[in-house]
Structure 1
């Protein structure tokens, strides 16, 4: 049900075999009455009584209790709207609370603002049913409220939350979890007699208890389908009593929520020899290949607990689910859930595939080719040329027409046309157009099929399905020698945020394209390799590949690719503080991007201009440039780059006082980050939260951001976080603590030749009272190193390797490398080649060091 529910009416049936769960609920209720509150999750298979337990908790609670069900659809913020509508005294109050929930304060504060107005007492219990059916935005907002201490409602608020057993619950500190399982024979018998309107005959009782196996939901559905005469023994009940209608009544919702590949795999496992007994994984994989069913969903089914793996065998966790997977759905039950798709998640661009050569002319033994094939190939050639150097919307229409004409007689060429059409739509920022192209990619096989289905899942807001398919695409590394397929594998890696793998795959594609003399493909390979290096924070490599790609694109007349390379070079220049370079490359990118409809290149160019403004301290101007890039709509930025630009926008917005917009963007970024399609998102999200937080909470988020950066490999972004952290520490009068992060940031900025960022860091470091060495005072700076650093510097100056220094000082080579980076920054040098001169100038002798 929706809305608030008062205490349950007296005389409700008891909950059998639920003593431990009821005890946990009682403890939550007691803590809530005492003013502590908390969160308790209730999980279980379909039909195990999650809703009944919540209703009991609401009815037994001595204070105000509210029970809110899933809204029935997954429109963004629909769950939060249902919750706030249940709590709010009026519709206008609910609308105001929803705006607050989506804004700077979050859902917890919105709930806290409503509860005191409606609750008769100090203790409030909020019961949320079927969390797995709530929309992603609302789930993320709830998780944030529960994780933020003091923001999960006012003191004395308890949360009782139910979810399907296969749903991955959010990590909430100090939250409890209870699971509802099967009933004992005595409990099932007692429930049966409560459900039946007549006295149950022994034969009917034995039949029902045996077939339902203690499952309360299955037992309830089975009793409901029998007539009083059949229950009393006057008529013979049907055998089996648990048939397809009963199974789908209980498990149909679960199956409908799974992706199509997951449902097919479940049915496949259930049909293999042995039925619901364990089957070998190799047998399942072989059967999946024979049935042309992607096996990627298998990992998700195992992770969700629907299938259990023991060594090399698989079995169903629930025999009823196995039977339901094979049972035909009743005519009134749809085979799958309907409703709007989830919002698309940002992704990396996919490469333009080089068209396959035209098929050879038909032999006399074959049918003559239809006239549509010639027209299709003409459209394909024209569309490919337009994609390289003309308006991409024109290219998209021509390529779709080519795919239609080639579909029957030349399916492989039709698939190429579909992929090229998808690339045109991607360049234009047209997500629906991408889906249209991918939906009809007939003729695709193997890696191409997985790539198309994976991108379709990502665009459709199904991150778990996308992750499995695209991981399979990335795994072709080393097994493919076709540049087009390697480029798609690299793009799949970028979708997953695996920038190192993306760079490796694109580099391999580039090497093969060069070896095979495929000049038309070289600009694309260099374009995507430059983009992968840019995402990884390796700006010098990105610039080198972009410059080479720019030359190849201009040589082969691919103006659109050249525009993208200019945009990459503009972003690199925004890091190195090359103001004229940013202006030149961004201007040249926009000069082509705007008339040709290249929204992706235009967004990158505008982002570069904004980053240059931010690097010069022009935060207000940077925020004004970034606002349209992080919003949707006809004048917004590219759909795959919106979320990537949010951290930069938040930094600029906070610096110029646009806090409400920064908070709203951060919460939307949190929803996207929770999908797990970008490994670099968690540290950047933590940095955004740190910039918006106050007091000790900001320090916590900065430390969390630095910790998470260590797993991502982007040193430049880590340095930006360290700079922001050092500035925060200095502003809060902790200069000695600020020097460490600022020095580490300075090292990275100098290595990246990010002179503007390095200059800002030096200024902050001087403001803390720390010394910043210059070329004239390097010998003095050497004497200011710690004793350990002095020893390492002297040994390195004498020619010792990192391993030799590590052996002598009983340290690890990694520690030595870390110390040397700090030494270089302190001495204002770039490598150990310069160390001997500094040591000699300082008059150092041997291995002596100040102790």
Structure 2
């Protein structure tokens, strides 16, 4: 099956009914899919009735450019070829594909590029591929594209799709070594355990001739460059070589045959070259290489420890100690994959079984924090068969339970925790607290009453034990007071204010786990801005492995906080990272949460069909009966989608279903415009009597002194549902009360509804003031449907709203999709970019055509204002 990125490129080149020519140069490194792109494009072209000519210059012969034409014109003359292309293009489109064009002599390349210019008015498609840049600005009409490395989600999917799937620690190591190169991922994934098969005759046959031609000094330098284990700079490589002074001529022979590229660093364009170089060296030479790196790296670091761990042939306590210390340092800065790799290698170097079990558990805990459930599960039996210690077994239960919970298997997760607590009850408070904290995460996701009760039992049991440091602290160096408080409010939202005294800004250098616990407490007590700041610092800090997102449970909470605070572009960014994390490690629960929050954003932006399609598409992915938090989020998104569409009966039903689920669980706290959605829908559908008891229950669950943001939402809801003498006061409280400016979505809605209320009370001049402010707020947010509702109310009150940015009556999502289509993107590409289905894109475009009074996408540029389809917002 061809990768999606190649499929999109090929589909964009082959367009039925193409009126003119197209020339595209695709550049990429070896093994990234250039040849496969050419093959797929040729296949598509033939199926579409194109005349196809496929040339390859893989052996450097310029004659290969013309060789495929010999059967057509009987000669390799460029003039005759041009004549044939011209004649054929009069009858049907032509594809002329040339692979590895950068290996052809410059005069032939110039002639070929000139030909692309000459045929711009004819239906001739030129597809050229190269390893480097060819041509330049003088070749007008020559498009350029690159095939970048595969991102982690695509790389992980490729490894899982191999005949023997590769997951866990092996997948992480292979992804690092392959650098996103598809061919390298496949070859390393099939190679088996580390080192085996990588110096096979087939691999040597690909690179052997070029490697054999290297001078001895250069060959040794290549070996050391290939032997790096992390982010060692070029200066460290040369210091390990014994020459701390960079010398250009050392690398020149390898650069001249494209084995490496030299800039600020030495890099291998093809990662398999590095593998062939490294694994072809004798084991003793490789061990000496790593010893040389240990000597060259003065300060303790992950790289130094990993090199030290590759020197011994058998158990080595000093190397294991260095690796465990490196793991702890990596954990401190959030480099969770490094922490896991270092601890795992330390375990392999331990001779004592109990010490090995401890180190394996450290690796499993780091993997669990990184979201890698497969790695955490792989570690579990390595620990359990080595020890009966309760603290270590509790740690294994935690990592296993988290892995199960993230797949949506909440019953199995809680059974794992309770089973470990029964069979090997912890003897110290910190270990028991770790199990209770993990149980609170599972219970919050499931929303099942029996899970909430089980987590509370584990929390109470922890309180009965002595406080002493366990050999393996499953909570790491996290603050037990903070962790317990976060678990407590996770299980009982009404406890938030009683724990408010410990909500504070963390000290510099505070652990990620403590920052996230503080964020949980801040969220529940109404300090939403602090919660967003804390989570952003943990999840989006570029210092902490930006290419490896972690802490899966925190991402939806951060995105939700950004949505209610009106920071929607940042919410999109966070949901992108969360989606990558979910796809990389197949985290089903997180995937559904991402769909629900994306749907919520689409609904708020005015795209009801897209929101409904996304939420309904996520519905079958989980057993929602045991994942009630996700079920609630999907119902909320569906409710707001129905609100946006004007289907108030359906919206009321969805919000009442959501409340019923909260009532069953008894632990969910109001968030993301709860209970406001219910009040808006019920006030429009005439079901205020059904909605009022639900709002009363929300108020009761929030406690006698609810957080400020809950009070604001309740005031707004009661003002909509109870048009009595208190309505005006409640509206004004929702608009001007403490914390209202930090929640611009709710504040703008309160202004809209208060303005509408004032108009009905025959106070139009006051109404216009609030409605104008509402329009300004919604415009700033990009909430298209609410903006339109406020404009209608303003006009009804005698005001005049400024004209909308787009003259055509399109929704925000229709404007975005139409703009992308006007730029030339196809429906599948638009669908992938916006995370919706191609059917949704097609539906939006049909509606846009009707509203614009046009018949197809070729008229979009004329129908839309130029600022729409040229805007950076749709690029």
TM-score category of the 2 structures, normalised to the smaller one: 0.3 to 0.5
Query: TM-score, structure 1 length as denominator?
Result: 0.45
Query: TM-score, structure 2 length as denominator?
Result: 0.44
